[in-house]
Amino acid sequence: LMNLTRRLILSAAALLLLASSAFATNGNSEKRYDWKGTHELTFSVGGPATTYIRDFIFLYNFNLHNTADFKRTYIPSLMLDYGWNVEKWLSIGAGLYYNWARDNIYDKTSGATLEYKDCNSLAVLFNVRIYWLNRQNFRMYSSVGLGAGLYTHSGDRPQWIFDCDLRVFGMTVGQKLYGRFEVGVMLHGLVTAGIGYRF
């Protein structure tokens, strides 16, 4: 599953980068475009998630001082974003983000499984997106999101945590139906790719 997801993200990134190069070549002929008043709905997948970074630190220390070891499996971050283009250059909206991981704990010597723990994170963020390049078929932006997340770990009480998301670079290719690719310092995926609809 992870290899397939990685291939999908890399393929989408390659296609969007090729498309961006093509639009950059024809940038002078394509007029600036005003998407003010429209709405956007996007579904994306991403990874690796950094939501569990404190767990990675704990696991590292645990492995140094114990006879047990960890093997982590996880699914890609799943993201559903809504945005309203209130200005040509400004979009506000919200997003729903989900992460899941499982820590399989096993004996270092025998390899026998001792137990496993599931980690879940569900966050709701308010997002502000700044578009610094607008074309009819191609847009580029940066964004920041702030909100709260519910974090659960097997055997522990659920915790509400402050959640944030910074997307340094993003782009969309297409008009009503578009592809999206993002890179940056993101809590829910350092690289994301997805598909969206503008209406």
Residue 139 buriedness (CB in 10 A; 0-12 / 13-18 / 19+): buried
Whether the pLDDT of residue 54 is over 80: the answer is: no
**Burial track 90-127 (b if 16+ CB lie within 10 A, e otherwise):** ebebebebbbbbebebbeeeeeeeeeebebbbbbebeb
Which of the pair, 158 or 23, is modelled with greater confidence?
Answer: 158
E runs forming strands in the chain: 39-47, 68-74, 77-85, 90-107, 113-134, 138-153, 159-174, 177-183, 191-198
pLDDT at 175: 92
Find, among 155, 184, 199, the residue nearest to 44 by Cα. Answer: 184
Using CA atoms, how far apart are residues 91 and 28, in angstroms rounded to an integer?
25
Give the pLDDT band of residue 12 (cuts 50, 70, 90).
low
Most confident residue range from 35-49, 108-122, 152-166, 175-189: 35-49
pLDDT at 41: 98
Residue 21 buriedness (CB in 10 A; 0-12 / 13-18 / 19+): exposed
pLDDT at 145: 94
Handedness of CA 12, 13, 19, 23 (dihedral sign): positive
CA angle 79, 123, 12 (to 5 degrees): 15
Average pLDDT, the chain: 80
Residue-wise pLDDT tens digits, 20-48:
555 555 544 456 789 999 999 999 998 77
Residue-wise pLDDT tens digits, 100-151:
888 777 777 777 777 777 888 899 999 999 999 999 899 999 999 999 989 8
pLDDT at 112: 76
Find, among 122, 56, 46, the residue nearest to 77 by Cα. Answer: 46
- Residue 184's Cβ-side half-sphere holds a number of Cα atoms within 13 Å equal to 19
When pLDDT is averaged across residues 169-198 and rounded to a whole number, the result is: 89
Q: What are phi and psi of 80, to 5 degrees?
A: -125, 115
Residue-wise pLDDT tens digits, 59-70:
555 554 566 666
pLDDT at 97: 93
pLDDT at 152: 85
